[in-house]
Structure 1
Amino acid sequence: MRDFKQVLMENGYSRQEELVFWDCDRNKRVRVAALLSKAAAFAGYDYDARGLTHETLYAMREAFLLSRLALRIHDCPRAGEVLTITTWENGARGAHVQRVYEMEDQEGRLRVSIKSDWILIDPVTRKILRPSAFTAKPIGTCPKEIDCPEPHKIALPREGTEDLGTRIVRWSDLDGNGHLYSGNYGDIVWDALPEDLRDQVPREFQINYSKEATLGEELRLVGVREGETYRMEGLGPEAPCFTALCVF
């Protein structure tokens, strides 16, 4: 039996996790959806360990929503591997607070790196707040450079896109906030990719979360392929819900 370690640092949190079959595709390689899920989970682990639980922050009317994320796969992890996943806050950038991550194997080799941008909101009114309004703790800065692209706005051209069908938001898609879980977007993207790309491991992946999708909403998926990249957008009834970029 393995005794997995977790460490709370002054401005970071680290924990070991084993990749199970659920985390991986049919080739036993980690799914982008699993990496997105772990990014969301580790942000929560960090704050929970500091006593800043979801309930505590809600009572303070301060909460973070994931706005956009970029990841780089240096060497794709596989089922059964144990990763040490470390996350740090990385300061404020305009309206965003950045959180970064590294995933290393047991030999200390970097396998995945992530940068994510979050917005601070009042969870009652849903009003966006400036990072300077966050009172729960000082926002820290990562002590090292993270080998990952900066998250940026993704846009599709007005013409030349292909129709990829629709995706209904199901009960099993919902998280504790009642919205489509941020990790599930990775599977939505991969299910809609052209068949020859689904079995490939992306070098990089980016996603913009634009509008929360709720139970029963129908997302209309459109995409465009350009060389080694594929961009995709999920259009809800009123506005785009997400835009993603895959680099192979």
Structure 2
Amino acid sequence: MEYKSFFEEDKNIFHVQSNIYFSQCNANKDLSLHELLKITSDIAVEDYRQRGMSRKILKDNGFGILVSRCSYRIHKWPKENQFIEVETWEEKPQALQFMRGYKILDENKNILVSGKSSWLLVDINERRILPLKKFTLRTPPEFCIDLDCDKPDKILQPEKSELWDTRIIKFSDLDANGHTNNARYAAFVEDAIPEEFRGRKPKDFKINFAKEAMLNDKVEIFGFKEENKITFLGKTPESVSFEAVISY
């Protein structure tokens, strides 16, 4: 089968066709949560690259764009060996955050996953968040597309939670930004899921990134489980690293 990538005519909606491969699936033969983050993060980066804003060009201008929050609704889990078409588009910015939407479709254009994410503009030299008006490499979009998924907003933490897992950040967890890749945090979440939930299929997944974990950092993952929801908190000794919630 031939896979294509293309921009929808007269729109800034970027499409990438692909396959769900064996290595991207969990023990249930479903697309894993960390691979879902990889797919959506990578298509966002590629969308910008094809519009003339590669990571190198961003770096040359002193910019970095880091994912802040993600929210996904899984209408039907992508499966091993399934054809998919992933769509992404940049939406009207909100306050200090770029906004982006996603759809993952099957070969018949049925929606499998819908999602939204927010991203921060940072000064890579001073490591500080910048106002979006500083980003003049493109004209910001003025539209939003309604999707059947939660907003990528704040995750409320329960008053009590238990220590479920501890991770030491290794070299293979890092990306070219020098800190833990965003998709790795979803893998940390997956490994901390209590056994009685592992055979269940999540309907919603949200993850928020607070402070990047660095090489050799110890990340403690705390959790709180309810009947149809699990809430996670990842902490280094210095600060909160990430938060996540899975709803069933």
Using structure 1 for the length normalisation, give the TM-score: 0.96
2:98 counterpart SS class? strand
Kindly state the Cα deviation for residue 67 of structure 1 after the two structures are TM-superposed: 0.5
Match of 1:46 in 2: 47
Tell me, what secondary structure is at the counterpart of 1:36? helix
**Distance in 2 separating the partners of 1:234 and 1:144:** 31
Which residue of the partner structure matches residue 243 of structure 2? Answer: 243
Name stretches of at least 5 consecutive residues in structure 1 with no aligned partner: none
Match of 1:123 in 2: 124
- Any idea what SS the aligned residue of 2:182 has? coil
2:210·2:240 contact (CA, 8 Å) conserved in 1?
yes
Amino acid at match of 1:53: S
Asked whether the 8 Å contact 1:220–1:235 carries over to 2, the reply is: yes
Aligned residue-pair number: 246
Contact 1:191 1:198 in 2 (8 A): no
How far off is 1:243 after superposition? 0.4
Tell me the CA shift for residue 132 of structure 1.
Answer: 1.8
For the residue of structure 2 that corresponds to 1:215, the secondary structure is coil
Gaps of 5+ in 2: none
CA contact (8 A) 2:92 2:144 kept: no
- Determine the structure 1 residue equivalent to 2:84: 83
Aligned counterpart, 2:56? 55
Aligned partner of 2:226 in structure 1 is 226
| Partner SS, residue 231 of structure 2 | strand
In the other structure, the counterpart of 1:197 is: 197
The one-letter code of the counterpart of 2:93 is A
The letter of the residue matching 2:178 is: G
For residues 106 and 123 of structure 1, do their structure 2 counterparts lie closer, same or farther at Cα, with a shift above 3 Å needed?
same
Q: Which region of structure 1 is more displaced relative to structure 2, 9-18 or 141-150? A: 141-150
How far apart are the structure 2 equivalents of 1:156 and 1:149?
17
Cα distance change of structure 1 residues 33 and 142 upon mapping to structure 2, 3 Å threshold: farther
Q: Tell me the amino acid that sits aligned with residue 72 of structure 1.
A: R
CA distance in structure 2 between the partners assigned to 1:76 and 1:142 by the alignment = 28
SS state at 1:183 partner? helix
Moved more, 27-36 or 142-151: 142-151
2:3 counterpart residue number? 4
Structure 1 residues 143, 98: CA separation in 2 closer, same or farther (over 3 Å shift)?
closer
The Cα of 1:215 is off from its aligned counterpart by 0.9
- In the TM superposition, what are the counterparts of 1:131-210 in structure 2 within 5 Å? 131-142=132-143, 144-158=145-159, 160-210=160-210
Q: Deviations over 1:14-52 (max 9, x none)?
A: 110101011111121111111111111011110111121
Give the structure 1 partner of residue 109 of structure 2: 108
Question: Identity, % of aligned pairs?
Answer: 32
| Residue 205 of structure 2 is aligned to residue 212 of structure 1 | no
* Equivalent pair of 1:33/1:183 in contact (CA under 8 Å): yes
Partner secondary structure for residue 208 of structure 1 = strand
| AA of the residue aligned to 1:174 | L
Which letter maps to 2:3?
F
2:93 aligned residue: 92
SS in 1 for 2:221: strand
Please give the root-mean-square deviation of Cα atoms over the aligned residues, in Å: 1.2
Contact 2:206–2:244 (CA<8 Å) still a contact in 1? yes
